[in-house]
Structure 1
Amino acid sequence: MARFDVLELRIGGVSPLGSSGALSAIDKHQVHHPLPVSYLGLEGDEQADRKHHGGPHKAIHAYSISHFTTWSKELPDRTNRFRPGAFGENLVIDGASETGLCLGDRWRIGSAVIEVSQGRQPCWKLNLRFDVPDMARRVQDTGRTGWYFRVIEPGILAAGDCGSLIARPNPAWSLTRTSHLLYHDRMNRPALAELAGLPGLPDSWRRLALARLASGKIESWSRRVETPEPYEK
């Protein structure tokens, strides 16, 4: 896979998520004109929780349009929610998914150069977004997480742009393989050591891999994927 298409650009501001009161910027609206992109993402885009979202390693969130049909089949009573923008993505992508993208892939889109930094680690706000109590865990388990780009060269992006692959330094590390290691084959020590040694890996993921190797234990995911009591229905 050496190219993909950007079907939509989306940005959003911080607001309450439904009736829960939890603040989120997951509700991204479609933009019909080109947008500047900086090292921190698309102009006008916001994040509610800057500790876990945004920043240079999570500047742009992308999601494959191909996943929506599968989600609709698995959760038919939520079909109307599985549409572009549903996962809070900035880029709606056609022609690429986690299976064919690798950590560190560099792509030219419009006048910008961006790099695949990591897959998304889904959090409990997806449970509220889709009104499915275990949606975050479902996203994690399936590997249909979407992914983040870091910006290497700022520029201008527009819907209709084509992404062209510039470099693939880690062809053995697809996002699907990475997700499988993190959430399924969790104590594969050789793979964890290899992941921890990848150049450009975000520090949070390197620490996670090294912590597993050092402790022989899996970190708890409950605070990330389980809806906190104040927002539970």
Structure 2
Amino acid sequence: MKIISTNIAKPTTFIWNNKEEITGIYKIPTNQPIYLGQEDVKGDEVSNRINHGGFYKACYIFSSEQYPYWKKLYPHLDWNWGMFGENLTVSGFDETKVLLGDIYKVGEALVRIAQYREPCYKFGHKFGTQAVLKQFIAHGHGGTYLSILEEGHVDINDEFILVERPENCITVAQLFHLIFAKEKDQDLLKIAANSEALPPKKRALLNSYIKTI
């Protein structure tokens, strides 16, 4: 896994339901190092602190290998890295092999694979249709948020070096599918619900889906 673009956003306003809103989803490449802090990426716009930023959503990464699929679906859009609102566009990011709770050294930072991406109406607004939300979920490659265990700068070409892997966990892809599946795998639920990589509220949510005899 290697960083191919570092992306941040300035606040962007748009009209939604006749109200002016602010978003940080319009990220663009910086072509320079960015600083990963424990609450957010330094200098990046985080408009809604209830649903974005914080320890379990300090930084969002997305796979560069997923871009061709979406470019084919939406060829009319102005494409560049950061299109999905990610701070780091990463090559070689295979969500079927990266585990929830994995700890990596990247650049100066130490990061942990944290929670899943839940696409919202702002993502739909950027793509010009709310239909993209269902498409994003169905495609099954949602990227992942990182928790920052040790702050520091990261830059293009920095590689993710695996430092520690949890003994019993699930992949990023399994977690993403689990969250949105109507019929949830009970074994995977039990594993994910016990992962300290997820915030307590999300672990409680997963626990609520576990069936009791």
Q: Does 1:85 align with 2:76?
A: no
Query: How big is the shift at 1:89?
Result: 0.6
Work out whether residues 7 and 81 of structure 2, in 8 Å CA contact, stay in contact via their aligned partners in 1: no
The CA distance in 2 between the partners of 1:67 and 1:83, in whole Å, is 13
Question: Deviation string for 1:45-83 (max 9, x for gaps)?
Answer: 12111111111100001111111111223x1444x3443
- Secondary structure of 1:7's counterpart equals strand
What secondary structure, in the 3-state scheme, does the structure 2 residue paired with 1:41 have?
coil
Query: For residues 170 and 202 of structure 1, what CA distance do their matches in structure 2 show?
Result: 19
Instruction: Give the 5 Å matches for 1:36-47.
Output: 36-47=35-46
Contact 2:168–2:191 (Cα < 8 Å) also in 1: no
Q: 1:154 aligns with which of 151, 156, 164?
A: 151
C-alpha distance in structure 2 between counterparts of 1:81 and 1:173, whole Å: 35
Q: Deviations over 1:6-62 (max 9, x none)?
A: 011111132214x54332101112222223322113210121111111111000011
Counterpart of 1:192 (choices 189, 192, 210) is 189
Q: Does 1:7 align with 2:10?
A: no
Amino acid at match of 2:68: T
Aligned to 2:113: 116
Tell me, in whole angstroms, the C-alpha distance in 1 between the residues paired with 2:184 and 2:28: 40
For 2:62, the aligned partner's letter is: Y
Are the structure 2 counterparts of residues 142 and 34 from structure 1 closer, same or farther at C-alpha, using a change threshold of 3 Å?
A: same
3-state SS of 2:178 partner: helix
Q: 1:209 aligns with which of 203, 206, 211?
A: 206
CA RMSD of aligned residues (A): 2.1
Which structure 1 residue ranges, 5 or more long, are not aligned?
216-233
Q: Distance in 2 between matches of 1:26 and 1:76?
A: 17
Q: TM-score, normalised by structure 1?
A: 0.82
Distance 1:35 1:84, change over 3 A: closer
Residue identity (%): 26
Cα separation, 2, equivalents of 1:32 and 1:83: 12
TM-superposed deviation, 1:172: 4.4
Alignment of 1:50-129 (within 5 A): 50-73=49-72, 75-78=73-76, 80-129=77-126
AA of the residue aligned to 1:87: F
Q: Partner of 1:61: helix, strand, or coil?
A: strand
| Counterpart secondary structure, 2:188 | helix
Are the equivalent residues in 2 in contact too, given 1:102–1:171 (CA < 8 A)?
no
Counterpart secondary structure, 2:114 = strand
Matches within 5 A, 1:128-147: 128-147=125-144
CA distance in 1, matches of 2:101, 2:169: 11
Aligned length in residues: 210
Partner residue of 1:26? Answer: 25
Helix, strand or coil at the partner of 1:144: coil
> Post-superposition shift, 1:88?
0.8
**Distance across 2 between alignment mates of 1:7 and 1:26:** 18
Pairwise CA distance, 1:213: 2.7
